[in-house]
Amino acid sequence: MGCHREQVLNNKRLHPTIASVTTLAYARLAPATLAGEAQRWTFAKLRMINALIQYDLELLKELVQLIDQQIGKICQLCSEVDDPDSLGYFDRAEHVTGLGFVECQTFMSSVCGNLGVSKRNALAIGLSHSSGNTKAQIINHAANYWKHNNEWNPSKKDKRRENIEKGFESVGFSVDLDYPLSGVLTELSLPGEARFQSVLGVLDVWKDELEKIA
């Protein structure tokens, strides 16, 4: 009887209980399981972010189509009269162009927010212009000009205003000229017509490059 009891005790010492085995197995498998769940969550989050960005891009395409149609109509009107400037057609084109740049900037801000990338870093990415600036930076300057130029104090300049002015000058269109936004759109659209469809191509490349590093 004593020998049997001692044997049982030895077996307990040598062989873990079923509960112990289960605990040990779980302890070994849990990190892998948690890592798998984390990986699946990461992929799900990326898919959601990409879906949001694509949704915003589709909305921008719709807006750009409307804006380009309006620019086309104004250009047609300009071709039918001797002095389109006196009829305010150039002003209308500049206004529509400003709205187009702001829509593009809104999309860029949305992409930066969804990817968690600072706008400053994001604007340094993408296609470059011969001026040395990226086209994303030029688009951003154009949008900021349209939003804020009416607030500028003629006798006072701040850092943002100086950056915008330098951005315009770098592509050959000073903000002191008439209709500088139309000039910037023309520059970004070369060699084609001055339309935001060309800017969409710039933003598509910018978005793809940004997604790779985010």
Residue 47: the pLDDT is 79
Q: Which residues contact 16 (CB under 8 A, 6 or more apart)?
A: 24
Ramachandran region of residue 16, left (φ > 0), alpha (ψ -120 to 50) or beta?
A: beta
pTM of the model: 0.79
Q: Averaged over 12-25, what is the pLDDT?
A: 50
**How does pLDDT run across 114-157, given as a tens digit for each residue?**
999 999 999 999 999 999 999 999 999 999 999 999 999 888 87
Q: Where exactly are the structural domains of the chain? A: 48-213
Residue 6 has pLDDT above 80, yes or no: no
Going by C-alpha positions, the residue among 43, 86, 93 that lies closest to residue 195 is 93
The tens digit of pLDDT for each residue in 61-98 reads 999 999 999 999 999 999 999 999 999 999 999 999 99
Beta bridge partners of 134: 128
Q: Which residue has the higher pLDDT, 21 or 161?
A: 161
The one-letter code for the residue type at 12 is K
More confident residue, 19 or 176: 176
CA dihedral (77, 78, 82, 86) in degrees, to 10, reads 100
142 C-beta neighbours (distance < 10 Å), count: 29
